[in-house]
Amino acid sequence: MQILAFLIAAVLVAADQWIKFWAYQVLLPVGTMPLIPNVFSLTYVENYGAAFSILQNKQLFLIIMTSIFLVVVAYLMLKKTKGNRLFLASLTLILAGGLGNLIDRVFRGFVIDYIQFLPFDFPIFNFADCCVVVGTILFMLYIVLDEIRMSREHRKLGHSENTPSKTEE
């Protein structure tokens, strides 16, 4: 199952890089391409920082930290996800998104962003960012569900220990 997850991550990274290549070729010359006027546009932006444009011009730091984080994610995918599809899916998306943006930072010196929602004052983002966000939401869901499962198991164990057996009655 982990091999399939790495293959899916590779396909997502390829899709991300293809979209960014398209954005560079098509959107860079025009800047913005409205798809739904006053709601949704494709807008070419070069992001020299991280999410929400923090850590501007700290490319080496971002490359090192992202690389370390992605090694940890890959390790978790290989060693800690056996039998848990939700955990594996979350890490797959995080790995794909992280790699997509890491490739940009290493080879371009910036990340190409292009998705813009106009009604909100929200930063422009890209497909890789979407993968990381959805992966993080799935990871949080995994944690919540795992806590619920562990709580139920603990209650069962606690309940069975406190219940007198027939031989004690």
Q: Which residues are catalytic?
A: 113, 129
Count how many Cα atoms sit within 13 Å of the Cα of residue 136 in the half-sphere of its side chain: 8
**Cβ within 8 Å of residue 126, ≥6 positions away:** 16, 19, 20, 23, 100, 101, 111, 112, 113, 114, 115
Rg of the chain taking only CA atoms, in angstroms: 22
DSSP strand pairing (40-47 vs 111-117): antiparallel
CB 43 within 8 A of CB 124: yes
Hey, what are 5's tokens? Answer: 């997850």
Q: How far from 138 is each of 24, 88, 94, 101, 164, CA to CA, in Å?
A: 30, 10, 10, 20, 41
d(CA 92, CA 103): 16
